[in-house]
A = this chain, B = another copy of it.
Amino acid sequence: MDRENHANNGEDERDVENEGLLDGKEIERNWSGVSEKNMTFREPLLVKRVNTTSQIAIVGSNVCPIESLDYEIAENELFKQDWRSRKKIQIFQYILLKWAFALIIGLGTGLVGFFNNIAVENIAGYKLLLTTDLVSKKRYFAAFAAYAGCNVALAIAAGALCAFIAPAAAGSGIPEVKAYLNGIDAYSILAPSTLFVKIFGSILGVSAGFVVGKEGPMVHTGACIASLLGQGGSRRYHLTWKWLRYFKNDRDRRDLITCGAAAGVAAAFRAPVGGVLFALEEAASWWRSALLWRTFFTTAVVAIVLRAFIEYCSTGKCGLFGQGGLIMYDVSSAQATYSGADIIAVILLGIIGGLLGSLYNFLIDKVLRIYSIINERGASFKILLVITIALLTSCCSFGLPWIAQCKACPTDASVSCPTVGESGNYESFQCSSGYYNDLASLFLNTNDDAIRNLFSTSTTKEFDISSLFIFFGAVYFLGIITYGIAIPSGLFIPVILAGACYGRLVGRLFESVSQLDTGLYALLGAASFLGGTMRMTVSLCVILLELTNDLLLLPLVMLVLLVSKSVADCFNKGVYDQIVKLKGLPYMEAHAEPYMRQLVARDVVTGPLIMFSGIEMVGTILHALRTTGHNGFPVIDEPPFSESGELCGVVLRSHLLVLLKAKNFSRERVLSGEEILQKYAAFDFAKPGSGKGIKLEDLDIDDEEMEMYIDLHPITNASPYTVVETMSLAKAAILFRQLGLRHMCVVPKSQGRPPIVGILTRHDFMPEHVLGLYPHIKPHKRI
């Protein structure tokens, strides 16, 4: 383990959240047993580099310091005073603002979603038109040069944005949003620069012909917009507003970002109900009924915005953006009656889909580990990787269609064959008039159009089995190797694309026994892949139904999702959970691990603990702030201020900094809380946006002041949640998780000892930490 390494050069790495530091010897003793075990290919990427409790994690393709969020309501004097004095008008403002924000998030996300679609359709559309035009003139090399050139140029632009401006914008974004909603704040996950790169990087990346989607980035975009609102705008870009101070706490921000994530899905899939369910099932860690209601409002706004824009564009004012811009597949002509043989075929499809889905997750994990080595070397390597994949994708897209044979156009086709214009089922490519190349109509199209082609009904023979097979193989592996490069890249579309192709392939193979339409098979194949990788159920089901607009398919889609998820769950976790773990984000599961039952809270407390008195010397506080990275300190009342040592509460680093900054010190050790209460309002201690608070370096305290005292009572959270040291660790973990705590005090069981044993944070519950301390405990499978 490089743990000692870390101790040596710990100066330059912010040790943000580890409340109880182990001393060197103990570490060695504790870790000697596991050092070898932990060197395997399975643990989070960052364990080796920093420490087990991951105060630093990979976000996007960058290493980034992280901090816990605090969803607890602090009950200190200041807050109580503020609450008592809060006027009705303020409460009304607050409620109004909540709904106004939901509206703005909805409008913003809807707008961005639509803008994204228009831009992609136009950029990719012109690129494809140029290519097919050159091909039809038999200028094949020029066509390839134009196609690959466009792709690489767009890819470089996207990669450069990501590599230089906001590395956190790389990847899907859903794992990061999920982690944020679980209480993990990685600096820059939701920063304005990330938002900017996410929007434009996603447009460029999708236009560049990568096998990536815009759905994950859309969710991240929605969350970023919500965060920007909740953080009180961006001070850097001079976008702030006074009312926004109401939202300067983690709980309200969490609610906003939940709405944002839902809005993202709603905008990406035009699925408002699916968006709400996605936020509920996959993204959010906490949920309440009032939030359901607000989220629903947000997605309704998104739906209305999209509808209005589509209406506007239907008159042809949006360039190449036609009806096909927003994905929406119509399989309503597919029959919804099915026999026993169909059911068996569908179950088989679900099983294989589940297997392929879990394989997808497995491979993505491995690829990400390899890419992380490359990405780590710097921006130029990141861009080089992007270019490599872009070239590979271009070669596949342009090269593979040559394998396919030209097929004669069907005589009864309702659309023109070969296709004229940018999207359609019958791409002529190199074929002569009256013929079409089925592989080209899949490869030389936007991903959305390719999916629409695969979902198309009543066109059983349109694609050859061999063509489907080639396309499936190409898309499956391109999807895997594309995720992890430094561009915003969603996972939904690659999975749906591969799944739809797989489904259509199965449909063709089962033609003789099953009467279901091949378009319907494609839908079910997509469902099986989604179930196998993402492991959602209800939300995927609703999203697919909203996409296809046919509720009669419900039983079949449900069946496939259930089967594929069950099968895939035997092998590994869902892709987002896997990425969260891989990135080293300390995600708290909703349930406690079984081995935690064998331990008590005291067992994972690591010392020494730093405490303050209720009235503490300024120098002591400053020293503690300087020498540790702790974010919370217990405050103890000692005689003469109480009968014996009593736990007064917990004080936060950020609040201490605000208090020290104002220099309300007194020369004597006396209660001066009243004075402080008069000088401050609760808003002065409200949480600033990430990275915006007062820094330790901002303080300027002279030697005389160091000897003075300050009363910590007004800013001490006097009602911290506590557990007795003999509390089962499993139950302590559940308490910690359910209430969304940042610090939990462990108090002694017997009397006559100091009133606090230690403080537990999120990191103390992480399996790596607990199993590191107790290597003899075998993690059981959960019941």
Contact check, B292 vs A537: say whether CB atoms are below 8 A apart.
yes
Q: Contacts of A304 on B, CB cut-off 8 Å?
A: 555, 559
Closest to A288 in B: B590
Given contacts A538-B276, A542-B273, A555-B307, contact A722 B719 (CB under 8 A): no
Measured as residues with beta carbon below 8 angstroms from the partner, the interface class of chain A is 35 or more
Residue A105 interfacial (CB < 8 Å): no
Contact check, B718 vs A538: say whether CB atoms are below 8 A apart.
no
Contact check, B597 vs A272: say whether CB atoms are below 8 A apart.
no
Contact check, B94 vs A783: say whether CB atoms are below 8 A apart.
yes
The 3 closest A-B pairs by CB, nearest first: A300-B558, A719-B728, A75-B728
Distance A276 CA – B558 CA, assembled complex (angstroms): 13
Given contacts A537-B292, A562-B300, A591-B288, contact A644 B549 (CB under 8 A): no
Question: 1/0 contact trace for A742-770 toward B, CB 8 Å?
Answer: 00000001111001000000000000000
| Most chain B beta carbons < 10 A, residue from A554, A565, A643, A730 | A554
Q: Contacts of A296 on B, CB cut-off 8 Å?
A: 537-538, 541, 558, 562
Contact check, A739 vs B735: say whether CB atoms are below 8 A apart.
yes
Distance (Å) between the CB of A613 and the closest chain B CB? Answer: 16
Distance A549 CA – B553 CA, assembled complex (angstroms): 11
Distance A75 CA – B91 CA, assembled complex (angstroms): 43
Distance (Å) between the CB of A758 and the closest chain B CB? Answer: 16
Q: Contacts of A297 on B, CB cut-off 8 Å?
A: 562
Distance (Å) between the CB of A302 and the closest chain B CB? Answer: 10
Contact check, B546 vs A551: say whether CB atoms are below 8 A apart.
yes
14 inter-chain pairs at a CB distance below 8 angstroms, sorted by A residue, are A91-B783, A272-B558, A273-B541, A273-B554, A276-B538, A281-B289, A300-B555, A304-B555, A307-B555, A546-B554, A642-B750, A721-B731, A721-B735, A722-B723
Distance (Å) between the CB of A768 and the closest chain B CB? Answer: 23
Partner of A752 from the list B293, B538, B751 (CB cut-off 8 Å) is: B751
- Secondary structure of the A contact surface, majority rule: helix
Q: Contacts of A591 on B, CB cut-off 8 Å?
A: 288
Residue A32 interfacial (CB < 8 Å): no
| Most chain B beta carbons < 10 A, residue from A277, A565, A723 | A277
Residue A545 interfacial (CB < 8 Å): yes
Given contacts A719-B726, A735-B721, contact A750 B646 (CB under 8 A): yes
Given contacts A597-B75, A597-B83, A751-B644, contact A538 B719 (CB under 8 A): no
Given contacts A272-B558, A738-B739, contact A293 B537 (CB under 8 A): yes
Given contacts A83-B597, A538-B296, contact A731 B555 (CB under 8 A): no
Q: Contacts of A541 on B, CB cut-off 8 Å?
A: 273, 296
Distance (Å) between the CB of A553 and the closest chain B CB? Answer: 11
Residue A104 interfacial (CB < 8 Å): no
Residue A303 interfacial (CB < 8 Å): yes
11 more contacts with CB within 8 A, not counting A551-B551, A719-B731, are: A73-B731, A75-B728, A83-B597, A273-B541, A273-B554, A287-B287, A303-B558, A646-B751, A718-B726, A721-B735, A738-B739
Distance A549 CA – B549 CA, assembled complex (angstroms): 9
Contact check, A590 vs B292: say whether CB atoms are below 8 A apart.
no
Distance (Å) between the CB of A312 and the closest chain B CB? Answer: 14
Residue A552 interfacial (CB < 8 Å): yes
Q: Contacts of A600 on B, CB cut-off 8 Å?
A: 719
Q: Contacts of A86 on B, CB cut-off 8 Å?
A: 783
